[in-house]
Amino acid sequence: MSAKHASKLNSKFKHALDLHEQGKRQQAGKLYRSILNARPGHPGALLYLGVLSHQQGEGEAAIRLIRQAIQQQPGYLDAFMNLGNVYQGQQRFSEAEDCYRKVITHQPDDVSAHSNLGVCLRRLERFDEAISVGRKAVELDPEYLIAWYNLGNAYRVAQKFNQAVVCYQHAIDLKPDFPLAHDGLCQSTFQLEHRSLLGKRSFSKSIAAYEQWLLCEPDNALPQFMLQAIRGDEKLTRAPDSVVRTMFDQFASTFEQHLGSLEYKLPQQLTGMVQELLGPPQASLKIFDGGCGTGLCAPALKPWASKLIGVDISSAMLSKAREKQLYDNLFESELTHFLEHYQAAFDLAVFADTLIYFGDLEDVLRATAHALANGGALLFTLEASPAQNSKDYSLHPTGRYSHSAVYVEKILKACGFSRIRIGYDSTRNEVGKAVPGLVVSARKSLT
């Protein structure tokens, strides 16, 4: 290739990078492909066309292109870094780890590689290693915001909440308008006070953390709601949709891992519950899984289903449920609104730890009765109010509601259900103790 032609390609590549950085992806992609038509093995064009493919959700194409760039230039560390990012986006954490370690071997002071490696190790549940690598990242660059945030996450999932608080506060000091760091700080502070105060309501440090967040984002519904929950606001009849959506969108990638740490039992318990309610599975029922989340309950429900429908308010949770390939359809919607548009459509409705974000249950249960066929079955779980609590329901500092059995029975009857059974059981632990729960089944009354 002549020097003039090489210079022209380099100029075109620089222009493509500028367009890419400006967010003009379609134009950048055309230039990358034009460069590759002229020089098929151009490492930079292969790499950044791969990055572009990743940004467009084409993970396998991204991997193929970036690996081609590495074949053309085996020591191309930017390619290894970006390949690690693609693998991490696909939750292929072991492969991402290998890429980041390759970068660190040749560039021991690369703070981004250390920070990203720490994320992989955390997701692989190698918490001590994640913390060690994360500490190295902040030592390399104490001003690197994301390194402090990632280290805070490592400490938090390792339940080292005091250290997590310090890291998140460092990140906030560097960038006060950093919602994820505020959220991490608030959650970690709450966990410390929840453990030390054994459920008492004097969460002064948590309140201060949420108030600090609101100074930066006064219109953010999540800290607003959590402050109301911590203060025991009795006017709130349910968690706002925007709050539930935000919480679970952020939580989706680590949701099942987190429930494992709580010894979450409901998916295993559900098979026995459904069999007791409906008898042996015959794959003949239209089943509604309300608040399906990542689809944890789908394996237990599928043997009874001729059609299994999942609904959740969080698109990120639905993406995880879709990966299980057990649902016939998945819909992103608020539950009550969805059910009101279906009449006598389902034989069984299940709400597995979903209605804990509703205080007043009347609207959602009335909509459920509308969507169930005559004689259709309903199964759901709640947190149980303490025996000494005479209220129908109470909002707790966790942002969840507990309900009294008396109230649940009253509302079910008012909404047209009969053959009501309410048992007491726990589906998970919290702060080392079983969370008291209600397991409720009923039938829509024949009309």
Beta-strand pair 372-384/401-403: parallel
Residue-wise pLDDT tens digits, 169-188 = 999 999 999 999 999 999 99
Residue-wise pLDDT tens digits, 209-248 = 999 999 999 999 999 999 999 988 878 899 999 999 998 8
401 membership: H or E segment, kind and range: strand 401-403
The pLDDT assigned to 197 comes to: 52
Q: Give me the chain's average pLDDT, please.
A: 91
Calpha distance 354→437 (Å, rounded): 13
DSSP secondary structure code for residue 435 in this structure: P
> Among candidates 300, 354, 295, 357, which has minimal Cα distance to 323?
295
| Structure token digits, residue 325 | 């390939």
Contact 304, 287 (CB under 8 A): yes
Which residues in 387-412 are b (16+ Cβ under 10 Å) and which e?
A: eeeeebbbbbbbbbbbbbbebbbebb
Q: What is the CA radius of gyration of the chain?
A: 26
Least-confidence region, from 125-129, 202-206, 398-402, 425-429:
425-429
Residue-wise pLDDT tens digits, 80-90 = 999 999 999 99
4 membership: H or E segment, kind and range: helix 3-21
- The mean pLDDT of 260-274, rounded to a whole number, is 73
Residues 6 or more apart whose CB falls under 8 angstroms from that of 359 comprise 236, 237, 238, 393, 394, 395, 401
Residue-wise pLDDT tens digits, 336-378 = 999 999 999 999 999 999 999 999 999 999 999 999 999 999 9
Calpha distance 165→14 (Å, rounded): 42
Higher per-residue confidence, 108 vs 261: 108
What are the structural domains, with CATH classification, of the chain? Answer: 1-105 (1.25.40.10), 109-231 (1.25.40.10), 262-444 (3.40.50.150)
Say if pTM beats, i.e. exceeds, 0.85.
Answer: no
Q: Which residue has the tokens 């890429």?
A: 99
Contact 35, 45 (CB under 8 A): yes
pLDDT at 114 over 90: yes
Place 49 in a pLDDT band, splitting at 50, 70 and 90: very high
